[in-house]
Structures are given as structure tokens and as C-alpha cells.
Amino acid sequence: MRTLDSHLHLWDPEVLTYSWLEGPLAGRFAAEEIESARIDGSTEERAIFVQAGTAVDDELDEVRWVAGQAERLGVVGIVAGARLDRGTDTTVHLESLTAEPLVVGVRHILQDEPDAVALSSAFVTGAREVAAHGWAFDACVRSWQLPDVARLSAAIPELRMVLDHLGKPAVGTAHAPLAPTAEWERDLAELARHPQVYCKVSGLPAEAGGDWSLAQLEPFLDTAADVFGPERLMWGTDWPVSAVGPAGTDAAPDAVPDAPSTYQPTARSRWADAVSTWADSRGIDRTALFHDTAATFYRL
């Protein structure tokens, strides 16, 4: 099976600055580490690099750092970091990104921003510039911010957008699963009414703190498939953020609750296997889910 990981992170704290790294994620995750985390059974493995929360002053350097090793990494597209609410500074930054042909999209992380930032006139202006460049926008938000993304899509119908991690719903854990809330289901369905918005099947292991099972997450995947349709879903690993879980095992159902967290090197393969099993059980085209949809969306 060919795989195009639509959501891969890379970082090296000795090269760039990341203020948020801590615990098992505080080290380097780059070329050598991804080689040890390749996906079992993948006949051709490629990836979209998604900006990893560097300091704002490092965002262009991050793009250059990834581009310089893209062939070795299997990276075929870059979603660059970009603050979209800074007026002239945004315009200059986006123009600078045009120098790198691997850039296929941008991400301004909204999950920790105040509500309605995405609806400000400055942000909407910046997002229109993204669309004018022909790039996509990755929307990384919390579940309660989904209505803002829907309104942004309505304001800029020409902007291709993809929702990261199903909007980060509360999923609980394998030991204490939560069902999808009515609010999340309603807001996801409202967002999915905008045909230029896609959804990444990614990130849920991190939302479960690494203690997850397919049975626990299937209701969330089913909801996404129902409202977006399988043709607007793309698979991603969210590596290495979604590769951290309880110590002692890579299989969370056997993990000890409340055990210290550790990096799980087989997490990408485990997520691929789980989503593949779910897709087969629902009659969803794996080739599209694992490769073709992301390739088309990002215009590779």
C-alpha cells in the first residue's frame, strides 16, 4: 500500500527554537528518528511536513531546514508556519515562502488563540492572500472553535482548508472512553457543508494521551466519514506528537493507566493498521484515504 502521511512533524532543538517541547518530545525528531518509525507494509512512503511550532522568527528557517533534507525524508510538500493576522508582515512572509517550491500550504495554529481570531479582519485578509497564492490552509483548532472555521470558509469560499485531527474532540482513553458529543457532531457537520473543507484522520491518539483503541475511536471516525464523505478524508500520523503514550508497551490496551509517558516508535504503523482496518470494515477506498486524496488536495 502506498502511503502519503498528510501530517508529519520534524524538529531539532539544536537547530531551531521550540518553546513548547517537553517530556518525551523534547529531543530531536528528524531523519534518523523517522527511519526508525517507517510504516510496516508501505510500498512507497511519502509525507507532508506540517510546521512544528517554532518561534515566529524561525518559520522561514524551518521551511529551509526541511526542504534541505526533503528527498532523504520522503517529504513532498511543506505546510509552512505563518501568522496571518499581521498585515504587511504577513504579506512579506508569504512572499518569502514563494521561493520554496515545496510549500503547498500554511498553518497559523488557532487552538490556543482567543475565540474569533480567525474571523478578525486582519486574519481574513491574510487567509485571502493564502488562497491567492494557490496554497491550502491547515486549521488546527479545539472542538469549540469549529464554528469559527466554518465562518472563515464561508467568508473565503476560494480557500482550500483541511481540518487537523477532526477538530480535537474529547475522546477519553481506551480505559475510559468518551462518546462523541452532540455539540462536536453538530459543529463538524456544519463545517463539512463547505465543500472546499477536508478533514485529516489524524491526531486522535494524542487526544487520548496515547492510551487508545480502535473500538474507542471508531465512533469519531464514523462521524467524520458520515459528514465529510470518505472522499474528503485524508490519513495522517501526527508523528511524533501522537507517538507518545504510557510506558512499558506500544499497545495501549495493555498499558498501565497513569504510567509515565514515553515515545512509542511503532505508533505510526499502529495507527496505519487501525485506520486501515476501520476503512476496510466500512468499505472505504484505502488508496484514496491513505494517498490520493491528500495528493490531490495539496496539488502534488
Domain ranges of the chain: 2-297
Average pLDDT over residues 106-110: 98
Q: Decide the pairing of beta strands 261-263 and 244-246.
A: antiparallel
Q: In terms of Cα–Cα distance, which of 16, 26, 39, 7 is closest to 261?
A: 26
What pLDDT does residue 234 have? 98
Residues in the chain: 300
- Are residues 170 and 208 in contact, defined by beta-carbon separation less than 8 angstroms? no
CA dihedral of residues 51, 57, 63, 64 (deg, nearest 10): -150
Average pLDDT over residues 25-48: 94
Average pLDDT taken over every residue of the chain: 95
φ/ψ bin of 267: left (φ > 0), alpha (ψ from -120 to 50), beta (otherwise): alpha
What pLDDT does residue 248 have? 58
> What is the tens place of the pLDDT at every residue in 73-87?
999 999 999 999 999
Q: Decide the pairing of beta strands 161-163 and 233-235.
A: unpaired
Backbone angles phi, psi at 136, to 5 degrees: -95, 165
- Are residues 79 and 44 in contact, defined by beta-carbon separation less than 8 angstroms? no
Q: In terms of Cα–Cα distance, which of 38, 29, 32, 36 is closest to 5?
A: 38
> What is the tens place of the pLDDT at every residue in 135-150?
999 999 999 999 999 9
Class of domain 2-297: alpha beta
What pLDDT does residue 270 have? 95
What pLDDT does residue 115 have? 84
- Are residues 62 and 54 in contact, defined by beta-carbon separation less than 8 angstroms? yes
Q: Decide the pairing of beta strands 75-81 and 44-50.
A: parallel
DSSP state of 16: S
Query: d(Cα 76, Cα 139) in Å, to the nearest integer?
Result: 20
What pLDDT does residue 252 have? 47
Query: d(Cα 50, Cα 33) in Å, to the nearest integer?
Result: 17
What pLDDT does residue 253 have? 46
- 198-227 core/surface letters (b: 16 or more CB in 10 A; e: else): bbbbbbbbbbbbbbbbbebbebbbebbbeb
Query: d(Cα 154, Cα 191) in Å, to the nearest integer?
Result: 9
Query: d(Cα 74, Cα 227) in Å, to the nearest integer?
Result: 31
pLDDT at 259 exceeding the cut of 90: no
What sign for the dihedral angle of Cα 26, 8, 56, 29?
positive
Average pLDDT over residues 94-112: 97
pTM passes above 0.85: yes
What pLDDT does residue 77 have? 98
- Are residues 149 and 173 in contact, defined by beta-carbon separation less than 8 angstroms? no
Angle between helix 214-228 and helix 267-282 axes, rounded to 10 deg: 60
Backbone angles phi, psi at 294, to 5 degrees: -65, -40
